[in-house]
Amino acid sequence: MRRLLSCIAVGALLLVGAGTAAAADLKPWDLSVPGASGHGTVGNVDKLATVTGTISVTDATPGQCYFVQVGVVEPLLPRHPVYWASSERQCGPGTRAVTVTKPNDWTTIEPQVRICADTDNCDYNAYSNITVPAEVRTGVSAVSTGSHVSLALKNGKVTAWGDNHYGELDVPAEASSGVTAISAAWGHDAALRNGKVIAWGANDNKQNEVPAEAQSGVSAIATGNIHTLALKNGKVLAWGGNFSGQLNVPAEARSGVSAIAAAGLSSAALRNGKVITWGEAGSKVPVEAQSGVSAIYATDHDVYAVKNGKAISIRGAAVPAEAQSGLSSVTGDHSCTYGLKGDRVLGWAASLNADCLVPAAAQSGVTGISAGEYHRLVLKGGEVYMWGHLSPTPPR
């Protein structure tokens, strides 16, 4: 669902590289931002990017906190995104010793350091509903995340927040009541109302030009980066961009389908317990996922089947033992995969250096989860919380 974008920090964020030193060669860092400063050492030690030092805060704004982050570049992904780990916070004037580490298999690549304020919205470890619109903090029945946007469904009304670069927040009036399903993607969104697909946001690949066949009788929707799927009377409909063949619905998926999934440039369908995939995911499905599957889900780079509570990666990715029983749903982004087991969220890495730790608050009472590129939404008894960037839009 999410296209990879680079993140450039602004405001009270300040970055420094560690140099190109050998694995155990620590380099000094010395940074200051409005309201705080810090200094110490940074470097790669035993495959850990490590920062030590102190942070001193002069900002006396009530409730304002500052912290230090160490960042690791992922060189194998487009535009080389940086993954950050955070130190403990210093709230209010004072000085705190800090130590923060981040796994780094790329020991020849320099780690980065920055100082952040809470209001910079750059802490991947944050868990809160502070930026969730007040009207959808409770009473919500469904959530969906796109790359830079979040959707919530409450009493049939769609609420959107985050980045509006492509009009993702311009929810049509038609989606203000009677909606039964939502799906957020990279730059476009979709909703289902009385069997009709409603679409808005980016339209560079005609993903908002809903075909006549999808304007009645539809029972399910799913959105990928630049395409949309709809399920009508067991038949999969597809429109939008077709860069990887994600619109080339196989004959087998044109009747008898009970569920659909889409993400990235991949499409999937479930027919008589068998998973069918096309697009970037390819058409080769493991034998284990060719019968007895109860549900399918798509992440940025994979399709997952759930069979007898076990998550099965269609593309052969490793699945931890804990996610091989009792699982009810799967979601994920370009670096992490998450599963809902009972009422708690499990997380596991889908790429090197990924930090897929799940906050303690998301390990009980959870009824739904959706992962975007920079954030995750958690549904707990109708209450919506986020972790990752507290707004879907990261610092730029």
CA nearest to 356, candidates 325, 326, 318, 393? 318
Enumerate the domain spans of the chain: 14-123, 128-388
Per-residue pLDDT of the chain (396 residues; tens, 9 = 90+): 433 333 333 334 455 544 434 445 789 999 999 999 999 999 988 888 999 999 999 999 887 889 998 888 777 665 566 777 888 889 899 999 999 988 887 777 888 899 988 777 676 666 667 678 989 999 999 999 998 899 999 999 999 998 888 999 999 999 999 999 999 998 999 999 999 999 999 999 999 999 999 999 999 999 999 999 999 999 999 999 999 999 999 999 999 999 999 999 999 999 999 999 999 999 999 999 999 999 999 998 899 999 999 999 999 999 999 999 999 999 998 889 999 999 999 999 876 656 688 888 899 999 999 998 878 999 999 999 988 766 666 544
pLDDT at 21 (0 to 100)? 40
Q: Using an 8 Å Cβ cutoff, are 2 and 300 in contact?
A: yes
pLDDT at 33: 93
As given in the structure block, the two tokens for residue 200 are 């808005």
pLDDT value, residue 224: 96
Extract the tokens encoding 378: 């958690």
In 3D space, the residue among 233, 199, 200, 202 whose CA is nearest the CA of residue 216 turns out to be 233
Question: Which CATH number applies to 14-123?
Answer: 2.60.40
pLDDT at 62: 82
**DSSP states of 156-202:** TEEEEEE--TTSTT---GGGGSSEEEEEE-SSEEEEEETTEEEEEE-
pLDDT at 252: 98
In the chain, DSSP finds a helix count (H) and a strand count (E) of 0, 31
pLDDT at 3: 38
Query: CA 163 → CA 148, 202, 246, 335, 362, distances in Å?
Result: 5, 12, 26, 21, 25
128-388: what fold? Answer: Methylamine Dehydrogenase; Chain H (2.130.10)
